[in-house]
Chain A
Amino acid sequence: MTSMNRPEFYQRLAEILDVEEVKAEDRLKNFDEWDSLSVLSVLAMADSKYGVAIRAEEIRSVVTAADLAGLVEAKQE
C-alpha cells in the first residue's frame, strides 16, 4: 500500500460525516454525525480503501481526525 494521501482521507471522512470539510485538528466527537453508524462506515472505508482493520477499542481512543488518519497509516505498515 502506498503511504496515505491525507487530504483524500479527510475528504472521505467528510463524506461519511456529511459535512463540507474535515480538518486534521477537528475533534470527531464534535461532529453531529459521529455515531455508531459513522463508526461502521469508517471501519468499512479502512478495509476497502486502505486494506486495514480497526478495532472498536482503537476507534474509541482517537480524538481528532489526524489521530484517526494516523491510526490507519500505522496499520498499513
Chain B
Amino acid sequence: MNFSFRRKRISGILAVVPAQERFFIEEMKNFNFPETRSLKLKEVMGFDKHRLVEPGVCVSDLAVFGFEHLFNKGLLRPDDLDALILVTQSPDHFIPPTSNIIQGRLKLKPDTFCLDINQGCSGFVIGLIQAFLLLEQESVRKVAVVNADVLSRKTSPKDRNSFPLIGDAASIAIVERDAEASIIHANLKMDGTRNEILMIPAGGFRLPSTPETAVLNDVGDNNLRARDHLRMDGSAVFNFVQVEVPPLIEALLSQASVPMNAVDYFFCHQPNRFMLQKLADKMQIPYAKMPSNVVENFGNSSGVTIPTVITFNMKERLLKEKLKVCLAGFGVGLTWCAMLLDLGFFDFNNIIEYK
C-alpha cells in the first residue's frame, strides 16, 4: 500500500542503549561450536560487540530514561506531547499498555493519546506512519514515536544464530507539523503466510509459558533453544530481503520521481552487516550510502536499528544539514516497507547510555 504525507517532519531522534558492552569473543564459549568456526563466523557476519540490558530492565525503563534526558536538557516539554506511540514486541505487561505506564511515570497530561503497537524490524517506519496519521487531527501537534525492545531476554545464549546479533535499545523520535516540509512517500507490504520465519513460539496465548516451554532443546544444528526463545530462520530472511526489498524501494523512488542517485543515504533495518552489503550489491548502492555498522557495535535491536543507524552515523550533521533519505524496514510479519523523506535541522540526534 502506498502513502504520501504532507507538512510533517521529524525534529529529533534520541537512541538509548545499555551502557555495558558484551563481546562476542567472551560469549563464544557458550556455543556448541569449536572456537575456530565461531571466529570465522565473526569475520564473515561482522559480529564484535553488542549491548544487552541487565536482568529485569524493561522497555518502559529505557523509554522513561530517554524522555527524562530530553526533559532535563530542555529539548522537550512534557506538556507539549499530544501523543505517545510505543512500538514494541516486548511489553512490560500484557495488561495495561506499556505506553500508559510510561505516561504515568512521566506524568504526561491526560489528553495524551497513548498507543502500543506490536511491530519489530519495520517498527520505525510504521511508528512514523502512525504519527503522521495522528498529526492530521487538529488536536495533535507533537508526537513521540518510541521504538523499544529487550528481546535479548528471550534469546537463548546458546543459540549462535541469534544471540550474537541481538541488541536491546530504545529510541524516541519527535514528529511534528511543518508547513514547509517536503512530501513524504511510503510503501508498505506484508505477507502473513510466512509469519513463522521470525517468531517466539511460546509466551503468548497460543502456547502459554510453562516449565516445559523453558526447556532448551538442540534444534538440529548444534544450537540450543527453548520454545520461549526467539527463533529466526536466517536463510529464509536473507532470501526474503534479497527478493522483496529492492523492487519495493525501486517502486517507491519511481512513485516519488526521485532517481536512486538523488538519495543521500539508505537507512535500513540492521539484521547484520553481511545481509546489508548483499542488499547494497544487488541494488548497486555504494556501501558508504547504506551504513551497516549497527550490529557489530550495538546489536540488532529490532525496530530501534533504524534510529540507531541514523544517530550513530549522522550525529551533528542532521542538526545543521538536510539530507534526502530512504528508510527501509523489513522482517517480522513478514513486513517490508520503505519511506522517502528529508531529514535535517534536528533539535537533537544522539545516543545516550542507560545505566
Touch between A and B in complex, CB under 8 Å? no
Q: Which residues of B contact A (CB under 8 A)?
A: none
